[in-house]
Amino acid sequence: MTARSEHLPHSEGEAVLTTTPVTRSRGFDRALIILVLIAALAAPWLLNTPYWLNLLVLICIYAIVNQSWNLIMGYAGIWSFGQLALFGVGAYTSALMTFHYDISPFLATLAGALMATLASMVLGLPSLRLRGAYVVLLTLAFHELLRNLIQNDTSQWTGGGFGLFGFGQYGLGDMPQAERLKVFYYAALVLLILTNIIIWRILKSPLGLAFRALRDAEPYAVARGIPEYRYKLLVFAISAFFTGLAGAFYANFLDAVGPSIFDFGLMMNLLAMIVIGGWGTFWGPIVGTVLLLYLNEALRDIDEWRVLIFGLLMIVFVILLPRGLIRPLQLLGDRIRERLDGSAPRENTP
Amino acid sequence: MVCPSANCRPAADGRSKQRPYSHGKGPSLFWTERTGAIVENLIQATYSGLVLGSIYALMAMGFTLIYGALRFLNLALGALFTLGGYVAWQVAGPWGLAAILGIVAAFVVVAVIGAGSYYTVVRPLIGRPGWDIATIIASLGLGIVIENLILIYFGPRNKAIPLLLEGGFRVGDVLRVQYQQLLTIVVSLVILLVMGLFLTRSRHGLAIRAVAQNRDAAYLVGTPVHRVFAIVMAISAGLAAVAGVLLSAVFFLNPSVGLAMGLKGLIVTIFGGLGSIVGTLYAAFLIGLFESYVSMYLGARWSLPALFVFLIAVLIVRPGGIAGLPEEARV
């Protein structure tokens, strides 16, 4: 097919530069967000077992990764599959610093985020000038390269196939497990909320509009003077920072890091979370993360079918519900809103 | 070690392992044991590079055909590669039929699945905004489904496909040639040749090329575009399956071999300049040789990292690959 997709007629339900102002009351949205926040704050007291607390922390960590992956994949239209590699860079940087050089884990966590940003620049400089399939390949290759180097490392420095463990869990190692998990959960929740606020601000800024313009009508956006390469590098760096932060936090939370962090199956699960939640939507990745991590636990009895089901769901959603679960949820929300205050139905949110 | 010197003959004493060829007055200036070993390694590495290259060529041809015709990166090909290996194993192993039937069965079964996946997964997506990334994600999902079905049905254990041809011969003292490897090269070259003839001579081949050049124009002159796409998907899936049979006859077969192979095929495809068939052929053998030399001289664990660094370097200098059109890459 020679014609570029942007020139084809757009189907319904796609966000195509919807910059039309939407008139609606903000009260409903605010109430919803506050409700979700209260639920998130109360969650560890309602699900007060180590098993559930563990899951809650993982939800927060993966939600950060998914939200930042969605920022570049869903909004900026960069087909990067290097997100998990950047997550691994964050985790390994923090682990190596605390393990070998006795650097404070807090400092090491920050260093992990910065190192992931640096790595994203190394990855982005050659690949972001290219497009489409080339970006897929280069980012996948970067992922495999890191996995290979660490897996086959026999020098003991990275721990090779066995990994490293024992970083002290931010000095909380001696705390009773239930308390420790709660502290970790609230810390992860704070990180998640911070990430979301910053990404929300970016999306609402002219920068966010530029990203969406580049995704939906690249030639037009470039003609209007948007510096494509620089903006793409910038969004890549922002996304990598939060991913690296989540990775470093993950390493300290598990108190261990190994090459299984680069597991391809995990990457597919993360992708499935974004697709099922709804890519290119703000709340989609979070909804997807919560839902799939829950499903992953609920389907424990049919262990071998889990990955297959996620793969199948991914196909079904891409074909039938390209905007993910968030779309019907929004429609439902609109119904309720209409009942409440009779305001105009809502357009596509970013 | 073979010594090119005319008056050189094997030493008669029992220590011939130490110094197989004696010139009567010790090793010559130019032909020491060390140079002998280097030449021997070089020949061996070149040979295994050619074997690898011919398998990569089949695999990458699948990617190239689909990308050339549909502008669609089919990431399910890695899983179809594995599936081909398992179908052949089922036919030649438990069912005990002739191994050549295994190859045919693999091609047919996987080609049918490839065409089926076009109608079920790809066709609904074509033409939508953002269809290019949507098809990539859908094909990734398809790959996961196939790979996990294999895992559930056949189990995670390594399996070995019975060899098509046993035994082999030696060329002098230098090169060990297994009939199986020779067959691999021959089969893939024959298939690629047939593919070439099919694309240039047959009606369906011409239709594929027409659609690849200009889909709308081909549609206007009455080419059944969707059927052509389905044929392309079937052929490329079949090629991946044959590659899977050939490779797993040399190595082992397990449900996750497709991932690495899919990535290699993708590397070859991009290196050859996405969509260029001749470029893909060159790239396949070039990368097979490169990988083989690196494993020989630096160790097998460096072959993949070296390949990636090489690829990244090439893409920075020449984003269109070795035969691709530059404007394809940038626009």
Of B71, B138, B315, the CB nearest to A315: B138
The whole-angstrom separation of Cα B304 and Cα B309 is 9
pLDDT higher than threshold 90 for residue B83: yes
Residues 146-205 of A with CB under 8 A from B: 148-149, 152
Chain B residues with CB inside 8 Å of A16's CB?
129
Length, in residues, of chain A: 350
pLDDT for position A90: 93
**Cα angle at A193 between A190 and A197, to 5 degrees?**
140
The whole-angstrom separation of Cα A274 and Cα A74 is 9
Residue A17 makes CB contacts below 8 A (sequence gap 6+) with A212, A213, A216, A217
Per-residue pLDDT of B174-223, as tens digits, reads 677 788 888 888 888 898 888 888 888 888 888 888 888 888 888 888 88
Tokens of B329: 């890459």
Q: How far is CA A181 from the centre of its chain?
A: 22
The whole-angstrom separation of Cα B208 and Cα B203 is 9
Backbone angles phi, psi at B221, to 5 degrees: -90, 10
Residue A312 contacts B where some CB pair is shorter than 8 Å: yes
Tokens of A304: 């071998």
Cα distances from A165 to residues A180, A254, B47, B127, in angstroms, run 18, 9, 44, 49
pLDDT for position B264: 87
Per-residue pLDDT of B253-288, as tens digits, reads 888 888 888 888 888 888 887 777 888 888 899 999
Per-residue pLDDT of A304-349, as tens digits, reads 888 889 999 999 999 988 888 888 888 888 888 777 765 555 555 5
pLDDT higher than threshold 60 for residue B110: yes
Residue A37 contacts B where some CB pair is shorter than 8 Å: no
pTM equals 0.83
- Search chain A and give the residue with CA nearest B146: A308
SS3 B137: helix
SS3 A165: strand
Question: H helices of chain A, where?
Answer: 27-46, 50-70, 83-101, 105-127, 133-151, 177-204, 206-216, 218-223, 228-254, 264-277, 284-298, 303-320, 326-341
Beta bridge partners of B177: B169
Beta bridge partners of B176: B170
- Search chain A and give the residue with CA nearest B208: A1
Cα distances from B327 to residues A129, B318, B320, in angstroms, run 12, 11, 8
- Are residues A111 and A97 in contact, defined by beta-carbon separation less than 8 angstroms? yes
Q: Which helix (H) or strand (E) holds B168?
A: strand B168-171
- Are residues B250 and B51 in contact, defined by beta-carbon separation less than 8 angstroms? yes
Best CA proximity match to A47, nearest among A55, A58, A38: A55
Q: Which helix (H) or strand (E) holds B22?
A: strand B21-22
Per-residue pLDDT band for B108 (boundaries 50, 70, 90) equals: very high
- CB contact under 8 Å between B263 and A304, yes or no, is no
Residue A64 makes CB contacts below 8 A (sequence gap 6+) with A191, A192, A195, A242, A243, A245, A246
- CB contact under 8 Å between B73 and A145, yes or no, is no
Return the higher-pLDDT residue of A31 and B140.
B140
Of B136, B141, B301, the CB nearest to A152: B301
Best CA proximity match to A15, nearest among A330, A326, A323, A331: A323
Chain B residues with CB inside 8 Å of A136's CB?
73, 75, 136, 266
Residue B229 makes CB contacts below 8 A (sequence gap 6+) with B69, B70, B118, B122, B123, B126, B211
Chain B residues with CB inside 8 Å of A311's CB?
140-145, 148
Of A77, A136, A307, the CB nearest to B144: A307
Q: How far is CA B290 from the centre of its chain?
A: 14
Residue A304 contacts B where some CB pair is shorter than 8 Å: yes
Residue A222 contacts B where some CB pair is shorter than 8 Å: no
* B19-33 burial: b if 16+ Cβ within 10 Å, else e: bbbbeeeebeeebee
Task: Provide the number of CB pairs (under 8 Å) joining chain A to chain B.
Answer: 140
pLDDT for position B208: 86
Residues of chain A with pLDDT under 50: 1-23, 350
Distance from CA of B125 to the nearest CA of A (A): 6
Please, how many CA atoms are within 13 Å of residue A313, restricted to the half-sphere of its CB? 24
- Search chain A and give the residue with CA nearest B327: A130
Residue A13 contacts B where some CB pair is shorter than 8 Å: no
The whole-angstrom separation of Cα A319 and Cα B131 is 10
Of A5, A136, A307, the CB nearest to B129: A5
- Are residues B276 and B324 in contact, defined by beta-carbon separation less than 8 angstroms? yes
SS3 A7: helix
- Search chain A and give the residue with CA nearest B308: A141
Residue from B73, B121, B128, B266 whose CB has the most chain A CBs within 10 Å, to mutate: B128
Distance from CA of B15 to the nearest CA of A (A): 37
The whole-angstrom separation of Cα B295 and Cα B288 is 11
* B186-209 burial: b if 16+ Cβ within 10 Å, else e: ebbeebbeebeeebeeeeebebbb
Instruction: Please report the sign of the dihedral spanned by the C-alpha atoms of residue A216, residue A217, residue A222, residue A226.
Output: negative
Return the higher-pLDDT residue of B57 and A29.
B57
What rounded mean pLDDT belongs to chain B?
80
Per-residue pLDDT band for B12 (boundaries 50, 70, 90) equals: very low
Return the higher-pLDDT residue of B328 and A147.
A147
- CB contact under 8 Å between A11 and B312, yes or no, is no
Cα distances from B58 to residues A258, B139, B249, B265, in angstroms, run 35, 19, 15, 9
**Placement of tokens 């923090």 in the chain:** A94
Output DSSP code: residue B21: E
Best CA proximity match to A275, nearest among A66, A88, A18, A16: A66
The whole-angstrom separation of Cα B194 and Cα B181 is 20
- Are residues A280 and A74 in contact, defined by beta-carbon separation less than 8 angstroms? yes
SS3 B177: strand
- CB contact under 8 Å between B266 and A319, yes or no, is no
Of A131, A149, A319, the CB nearest to B124: A319
Residue from A75, A134, A139, A305 whose CB has the most chain B CBs within 10 Å, to mutate: A134
One-letter identity of residue B205: G
- CB contact under 8 Å between B152 and A304, yes or no, is yes
Contacts of B101-108 with C-beta under 8 Å, sequence gap 24+, read B102/B161, B102/B245, B103/B164, B103/B187, B103/B242, B103/B245, B103/B246, B106/B241, B106/B242, B106/B244, B106/B245, B107/B238, B107/B241, B107/B242, B108/B238
Return the higher-pLDDT residue of B270 and B26.
B270
Q: How far is CA B27 from the centre of its chain?
A: 42
**Placement of tokens 């102002």 in the chain:** A21
